[in-house]
Amino acid sequence: MSGHSKWSTIKRAKGATDAKRGKIFTRHAKAIEIAARTGGGDPTMNATLAAAIENSKSDNFPKENIERSIKKGCGELEGEKIEEKIYEAYGPGGVAFLITALTDNTNRTIANIRHILSKNGGKLAESGSVAFQFEKKGIITLTENSETAELAAIEAGAKETETADEFLIVKTDPQKLMSARQSLLDKDLKVQSAELTFEPVNEMKIEDAEIARKILKLVDALEEDEDIDSVAANFDISEELLRE
């Protein structure tokens, strides 16, 4: 489970429980609204918005909710303004975290993040002390993990691929995310999700099972918060270690 991408991808790809679906829908609405506000409401001209819409569809986010979120982002509907905030932190074992939040109340969000970190052996870091350890990438999750799918991903411009159970994770340059997604669809491959996310430049190998469990517990706690859209971290944890 390197860089947290595999850990989070498997959880998303296997679907949300009914209890969590409301939170997931809220996150999709926020992501679409912000994308529309920053890049315009036309997904054909706004790759970030296109990715947010397609990612929401994989969770069965209703069409009318997508349209309403776009209108809010473009100022056609009133409502609380959603902001994107990125927080830097350290977790158990010195693992670096980059936490992206979509919020209408930054005071509430930072207080919640501080509480979660403190409760799980982490702490906020100074601005700039963590961010340089990550880079933005396009991440496409395919529901087929085969040689055919991998070859199609390479032809679509993938920088690298990674397996996660029955899924194939395809990593691209951010600006090539949607063109790569379309190329894979054209080859009749099922795309579970396509999104922009942060990936660690270098990973930290975790060899202590107790520390590994604490790191994953912190990840889960952060992702439970409704304001937090995504969590990136630079750990590398083997599945064998978790079985100890």
Please answer whether residues 215 and 206 qualify as being in contact, where contact means their C-beta atoms are separated by less than 8 angstroms. Answer: yes
Residues spanned by the domain of 149: 134-200
Distance CA 149, CA 58 (A): 19
Report the number of distinct structural domains present in the chain: 3
Give tens-digit pLDDT for 221-237: 998 898 998 899 999 98
User: For residue 88, what is the domain's CATH number?
Assistant: 3.30.70.980
How high is the pLDDT of residue 65? Answer: 95
106 and 213 fall within a common domain: yes
128 and 163 fall within a common domain: no
Give tens-digit pLDDT for 4-31: 555 555 555 555 444 466 778 888 999 9
123 and 225 fall within a common domain: yes
Residue 35 lies in a domain: yes
